[in-house]
Structure 1
Amino acid sequence: MATPLDSFHAVIPAGGAGTRLWPLSRASRPKFLLDLDGSGRSLIQQTWDRLNDLVPAERIHVVTGHAHAAAIREQLPDLTGLFVEPSPRDSMPAIGLAAAVIGAEHPGAIIGSFAADHVIDDQVSFAEAIGQAVAVARTGLVTTIGITPTGPSTAFGYVESGDRLDVEGAGSARAVRSFVEKPDAETAARYVAGGAHSWNGGMFVTRTDVLMGHLERLQPGLHAGLRTIAEAWPTSSRDDVLDRTWPGLTKIAIDHAIAEPVALEGGMAVVPGEFTWDDVGDFAALLDIGAASSPETVWVDGSGLALSEDGTTIAVVGLDDVIVVRTHDALLVVARDRAQQVKDVVAELRRRGRDDLV
């Protein structure tokens, strides 16, 4: 018997270095490969588990670069759909590659893109949101999952909801009025108080033909390149065509290429994601999701998070809301409220030519 998710394929873009989580997260070992919350599973493994609960392994696809392909294969032994990018071109070429290939092989397929490095609690609510998003996507709308805000965060972009949509199986769906960049604190507080805005969690669900049709209109060069690669994908010339075509693809995020312009045209919808969600963007976020200090840590009139990757005992005396992270080759000390600035350390190390540390 057919189910609502029979034509649904999940795509996991796995890229980026997570520079705000240095020195744990490095270019060679980004945060999605790490167990950051002490669950025993890396972030990409947790993402896989959530999706594999909804669809079989053969309908879960990962897009990543050469540097991380081997580690992903090791962590996800049941993965069969791995797309390896020759170089980073941002999220739209990555998701578009998967959409073009999946759509060519499975006409009418619906894809959903889900970042490899997010933490989500409450599988039941997650599954409910996906079911509604797929129902809306069948009608031809590009659909996002808007995260119900827990406070006026300035760390996330927002989705502004409009009129309720009449879609069977998606009673909570609304039209999207606009996508909003990360606001200041006063604006964020107004958004949350008004009730029409949700956090943009970067999750998009759409029919592959609809996505490719929007790309053809809005990004014709990117569309043509992806079509060329998809046509060669089942042939022996796949690698040659991919290596030749990929560097010329427009480097652009899916938010700018599709979500923002299509929303202004009335082609976007949003369904609520009423589950706990965090993109684990920095060490303060790790504290928020309940990460615990290494057992060797000694606290004396202090508080915060202390992580020792190499087993070194860390002692903190008289410092509150402090984060201390030790690896075999680096030591980070940062105030919790300055956790976003850790990325500046990585920039400075690169300026000094210390790429070996990043």
Structure 2
Amino acid sequence: MAGGLGTRFWPVSRKSKPKQFLPPGGGIPPNYAGLSLLDATLKRVRGLAPPERTLVMASAAHRKWLRNLDVPKRNVVHEPAGRNTAPCLGLAARLIESREPGATICAVPADQFVGKTREFRKLIKAGARLANEHGSIVSLGVPPHSPETGFGYIERGERIEDAGEVEAFRARSFREKPQLAQAKRYAASGRHYWNSGIFIAQATRLIDELETHLPRLGAVLSRSASAYLKRDTAAFSKLWETCESISIDHAVMERTRRLIVLPVDVGWNDLGTWPALRGVLRRDEAGNVWILPKGGETESIDAKNLIVRSNKKFVAAVGVEDLIIVETDDALLICPVADAEKIGGMVKNLGEKGGRFL
């Protein structure tokens, strides 16, 4: 899934080239040196499925960045408009089922970091087995180490006894992006996991769940897939525009009774906000993360817990802490770390004012 805009990583991530297409020099650390986040994701899943069995769902507006991917051109689906992850996965499931009836699919966001690739692949295979044997949707769950409000939380229920070498649980509840007080309770409970956004299920299971919980969307997606397979671009675009814009989390995961959580420890990090880089990039003795061009220099006195990204300039920081400072050729962002989630709202405001810096 590579259709997002990465607005919370503004001003490096832009509408014309979101973070999933950025190289390391753009300030976004990929899973492998020298690759964009999308290319790193494709490399990570290569041990699970060959290129001809890998589907990339992305925005038609980003065709320029999708031309040289390591997958066949017919496997790159250009979404005419952004409609969030439920339509994205619903369409993908129907296209895959049409090519390979009975297929099991693994949906992976293109903007995540996974430090333990071998363990990741092992767990995906275990998740596929569970999904097939139980007719369920399997979500990789990450033990929370802080009360994040930007993630969904999955509460585990009864243990699945026939899970084999892995530990897995029926999901008791799924709560998408709670308020801080609730997130604190979840993080401290010992029963909740962050939703990684990585889902495994038979294609028919995803199709059925969408048709059950959102029948109107399910019907539109059925017609959209039919138009796409017939290469009727005009009909596909027209139908796609009518799809409800909703996440798979709200559309299905919060409602389904067929969710399994598979706890994982794979060095996972959702690179959704600037503070997420603290879990990936090296920090100095004062907790500062410096993202600089080759040969870039800094000087600091009594500066703590900063996230600083400079395109060209020498950076000096004195007596400041807990700030995000990001400089590009045409923009400068200064934001308290605690307010990082608000960057997306600020970008929305820019769009309403003409979108010059989007």
TM-score, normalised with respect to structure 1: 0.87
Q: Equivalents in 2 of 1:287, 1:171: separation in Å?
A: 29
- Deviation of 1:88 after TM superposition, in Å, equals 1.1
Contact kept in structure 2, 1:162 and 1:174, CA below 8 Å: yes
**Unaligned runs of at least 5 residues, structure 1:** 1-12
RMSD: 2.1
Q: Equivalents in 2 of 1:208, 1:123: separation in Å?
A: 24
Please say if 1:155 is aligned against 2:157.
no
Contact kept in structure 2, 1:165 and 1:173, CA below 8 Å: yes
Three-state SS of the structure 1 residue aligned to 2:77 is strand
**Unaligned runs of at least 5 residues, structure 2:** 282-288
Structure 1 residues 318-341: Cα deviation after superposition (integer angstroms, max 9, x where no partner): 323333221111112223333333
Q: Quick one: percent identity of the two aligned structures?
A: 34
Q: Equivalents in 1 of 2:181, 2:345: separation in Å?
A: 26
Q: Equivalents in 1 of 2:50, 2:320: separation in Å?
A: 48
Three-state SS of the structure 2 residue aligned to 1:357 is coil
- Deviation of 1:159 after TM superposition, in Å, equals 0.2
Please say if 1:130 is aligned against 2:124.
yes
Where do residues 56-67 of structure 1 align in structure 2 (5 Å cutoff)? 56-67=50-61
- Aligned counterpart, 1:336: 337
Where do residues 109-124 of structure 1 align in structure 2 (5 Å cutoff)? 109-124=103-118
- Deviation of 1:312 after TM superposition, in Å, equals 2.6
**AA matched with 1:42:** S
Distance 1:286 1:217, change over 3 A: same
Distance 1:252 1:337, change over 3 A: closer
Q: Identify which of 253, 256, 267 aligns with 1:259.
A: 253
Please say if 1:37 is aligned against 2:25.
no
Please say if 1:172 is aligned against 2:174.
no
Distance 1:44 1:188, change over 3 A: same
Q: Equivalents in 2 of 1:145, 1:356: separation in Å?
A: 38
Q: Equivalents in 2 of 1:269, 1:64: separation in Å?
A: 27
- Aligned counterpart, 1:241: 235
- Aligned counterpart, 2:71: 78
Structure 1 residues 155-196: Cα deviation after superposition (integer angstroms, max 9, x where no partner): 322101111124454641211111013334454343334321
- Deviation of 1:246 after TM superposition, in Å, equals 1.3
- Deviation of 1:17 after TM superposition, in Å, equals 1.8
Moved more, 110-119 or 15-24: 15-24
Number of paired residues?
339
**AA matched with 2:42:** W
- Deviation of 1:213 after TM superposition, in Å, equals 1.8
Q: Equivalents in 2 of 1:171, 1:276: separation in Å?
A: 17
- Aligned counterpart, 1:307: 309
Three-state SS of the structure 1 residue aligned to 2:326 is strand
Please say if 1:21 is aligned against 2:15.
no
Please say if 1:293 is aligned against 2:272.
no
Distance 1:90 1:186, change over 3 A: closer
- Aligned counterpart, 1:8: none
Three-state SS of the structure 1 residue aligned to 2:272 is coil
Moved more, 29-38 or 167-176: 167-176
Distance 1:324 1:79, change over 3 A: farther
Q: Equivalents in 2 of 1:305, 1:171: separation in Å?
A: 37
Q: Equivalents in 2 of 1:232, 1:186: separation in Å?
A: 46
Q: Equivalents in 1 of 2:349, 2:217: separation in Å?
A: 34
- Aligned counterpart, 1:211: 206
